[in-house]
Structure 1
Amino acid sequence: MKLNFFAAIFMALTLASCAGTKAPDEQLVNTNQSAQQLYDEAKNVLDSGLYSRAIELLKAMEGRYPFGPLSRQVQLDLIYAYYQTGDTKQALASIDRFIRLNPNHPDLDYVYYMRGLSNLKADENSFHEFVGIDRADRDMASTRQAFDDLKILVSTYPTSKYAQDAKLRMQSIKEKLVRHELIIADYYTRRGAHLAAANRAKYVVEYYRDSPQVEQALRLMVESYDELGLTKLRDDAKAVLKLNFPDSADF
């Protein structure tokens, strides 16, 4: 009987303790504040650069007011905060969710801009960037996606205030992609895979013809075709090289 008595007391105390414990999100917000007051507090924290804390407050508000008039702005602020903390995986997930749920939102230009920036950041290696090592030889999947994201912004929202910066970033991305192709082509050349090298260089000439590195790509095509004994293709590539770069050194 005594055992049952103490067990009953313990259970009652446990239930009372659970009832008095708020969920983590509830502890972050003042229940006496309005939605606007809660958002203003979170926005002030965000503007102060305290991004991790801002994420906590914004998520708490999103949980409490998921369908309120400020819900979409909260989602946009979360995207920015995730990006600033370097959590590109969560930023991209939030961006894709926003686009899916708000296909006609007036701030979609900003969302695609942030998608491009987030994909760029996903490909960055802070150590190599810091010491100045060119990382064009790394996998470029996210960088290519970033280019596509910014292209959507520029083509769909040409008057957006983000369009000019997007164009500049696209040019920078394009040169990274060209370097990537030429590094791979050089890798093939050094291993005697001259046809693969020629195809990589040809891809640069066909799809990045405004790049200053096209001259290098054409020279690589000439050398590769020469190694393969493909004289017609070699001479055609050499003719294109001389036509567009008359000062290019002779082989």
Structure 2
Amino acid sequence: MAIRNGYKSNAWRNGHARVLAAVFAGYLMTACSSPEPEIPETPVEVLYNNAKDALQAGETRKAAKLFDEVERQHPYSKWATQAQLMSAYSYYLVDAYDDAIPALERFIELHPGNRSTAYAFYLRALCYYEQIEDVTRDQGNTELAQRALSDVVARFPNTPYSRDATVKLDLVRDHLAGKEMDVGRYYLKRKQYLAAINRFKVVVDKFQTTSHVPEALERMTESYVALGVFAEAQKATAVLGYNYPGSDWYQDAYNLLVSKGLTPEGDEAEPPIALVDPGAVVGAEPSPDLATPPADAPASDLAPAPDAVPVDPVTGLELPSASAPEAPVTAPTEAPALSTTSAEDLMAPESEDQPSGDQILIPLGDDAPAPQ
């Protein structure tokens, strides 16, 4: 019994010692990780210029803290408004988007009429844009970037910000279409054809100006053939051939139908692309024989009425018809080049009581216009 009591006593002492050691270690860590001392009260001119100097010296995080301090110490100064935007810009430079975005949204909410508000909208869009993930991952930031860029285009047309946002918006939409294609291919590979078709239809319906549409139509043809829904396979191939006659995707879809004894619009149709002659002109107009489907073509629930405009209600693309224009539907023309506006415009309130020192420059790189 004495031995048991002694054992308990030793175990208790060992456990007690471990608790004391943990408490002491926590005390040491707390002492070593004391918060940074607050910056003493400083005149706004000195504080702002210190922040500016830190930014120009590449000490971006320090600059962000100093700009925040301008607003904290001098909230009613004209320079507090400017410091809010400069703080957000500093966070943006070091990829601290979780700090930059709330700062920009606060600036937009508090100063809707400020001359730099357009820049704040644009910079917020860039914060989302630069967080876009690969198409194999979640596209939440891509969708947020699309909304933010669309906001810039809608609110500030005919500005350098709008022009650059338009270019980036096209890339964002292409990225979102790529995500749908990635998921669609996944389902197609696993022979889940209906799920695959739904994904490919999203690309054709919502992202018609992207580079993924020809592949989406060809994959729809594959899926419909696998399901035995040949009328829809013929329709998808006809739309593909009419809009992208020179595409390799159309040639693949056409060959697939031929292997099943079918053609895009019936047995009498001629191939719109010379598949044998290597000197054939790729991208030639569809044959006039493909203008209208044959009278004995199988009916489809999705087919338009005989007197209706020949537009596919599923894809939204125009079907071949005798009255259709000869030129194929094409993607939009190349986006305009970015403005060459200098990056030396001063982002500062319109007042004469400016802090001493050089004007602060806001370089955004070669791919972004300067703030106005």
| TM-score, normalization by structure 1 | 0.80
- Does the residue aligned with 1:210 lie in a helix, a strand or coil? coil
Q: Which has the larger radius of gyration?
A: 2
CA deviation after TM superposition for structure 1 residue 37, in Å: 2.8
> 21, 37, 43: which is aligned to 1:24?
37
Q: How far off its partner does 1:141 sit? A: 0.9
CA distance in 2, matches of 1:237, 1:75: 53
* Structure 2 match to 1:167: 166
User: Is residue 136–residue 179 contact of structure 2 (8 Å, CA) maintained in 1?
Assistant: yes
1: CA distance, partners of 2:161 / 2:124 = 12
Partner of 1:37: 46
The residue aligned with 2:75 is 66
Deviations 1:192-213 (A, max 9, x none): 2211111111111111111122
Residue aligning to 2:230:
231
Spell out the pairing of 1:63-142 with structure 2 (5 A cutoff): 63-124=72-133, 135-142=134-141
Kept after mapping to 1: 8 A contact 2:177/2:203: yes
> Which secondary structure does the structure 1 equivalent of 2:160 belong to?
coil
Residue 51 (structure 1) shift: 0.6
- In structure 2, the partner of 1:6 is none
Which secondary structure does the structure 2 equivalent of 1:24 belong to?
A: coil
Q: Which amino acid counterpart does residue 162 of structure 2 have in structure 1?
A: A
SS in 2 for 1:70: helix
When residues 48 and 165 of structure 1 are mapped into structure 2, their CA distance, relative to the original with a 3 A threshold, is farther
Residues 220 and 236 of structure 2 are in contact (CA less than 8 Å); yes or no, is this contact kept in structure 1?
A: yes
Contact 1:25–1:63 at 8 Å: present in 2 too? no
Contact 2:64 2:88 in 1 (8 A): no
| Counterpart Cα distance in 1 of 2:240 and 2:160 | 39
Q: Quick one: distance in 1 between partners of 2:132 and 2:171?
A: 14
Query: How far 1:47 sits from its partner (Å)?
Result: 2.5
Amino acid at match of 1:26: I
Return the letter of the residue paired with 1:224. S
Q: What is the total number of aligned residue pairs between the two structures? A: 216
Cα distance in structure 2, aligned partners of 1:47 and 1:191: 55
Per the alignment, do residues 51 and 232 of structure 1 end up closer, same or farther by CA in structure 2, a change over 3 Å counting? same
Q: Which amino acid aligns with 1:102?
A: H
C-alpha distance after superposition, 1:24-70 (max 9, x if no partner) = 3324x6x3xx3123212211221332111101211222210122111
Deviation at 1:97, TM superposition (A): 1.7
Note the C-alpha offset of 1:164. 1.9
The structure with the largest helix share of the pair is 1
Q: 1:55, 1:78 within 8 Å by CA — same for their partners in 2?
A: yes
Q: Deviations over 1:197-247 (max 9, x none)?
A: 111111111111111221001001111122223333222211111111223
Given that 1:137 and 1:180 are in contact with CA atoms closer than 8 Å, whether structure 2 keeps it comes out as yes
Q: Is the CA contact (8 Å cut-off) linking 2:125 and 2:149 kept in structure 1?
A: yes
Structure 2 equivalent of residue 180 of structure 1: 179
Q: 1:109·1:160 contact (CA, 8 Å) conserved in 2?
A: no
Q: Which runs of 4+ in 1 moved over 6 A?
A: none
Which sections of structure 2, spanning at least 5 residues, go unmatched? 1-35, 257-372
Paired residue type of 1:91:
A
Unaligned runs of 5+ in 1: 1-22, 125-134
d(CA) in 2 for partners of 1:95, 1:51: 17
Tell me, in whole angstroms, the C-alpha distance in 1 between the residues paired with 2:143 and 2:76: 35
Query: Retained in 2: the 8 A contact 1:225–1:231?
Result: yes
Q: Which has the higher contact order (CA 8 A, sep 6+)?
A: 2
Q: How large is the Cα RMSD of the aligned pairs?
A: 1.9
The Cα of 1:105 is off from its aligned counterpart by 2.6
Range 178-187 or range 226-235, more displaced: 226-235
Cα deviation, residue 81, structure 1:
0.8
Query: Taking every aligned residue pair, what percent have the same amino acid on both sides?
Result: 31
**Is the aligned partner of 1:148 residue 2:153?**
no
1:25 match: secondary structure: coil
Normalised to the residue count of structure 2, the TM-score between the two structures is 0.55
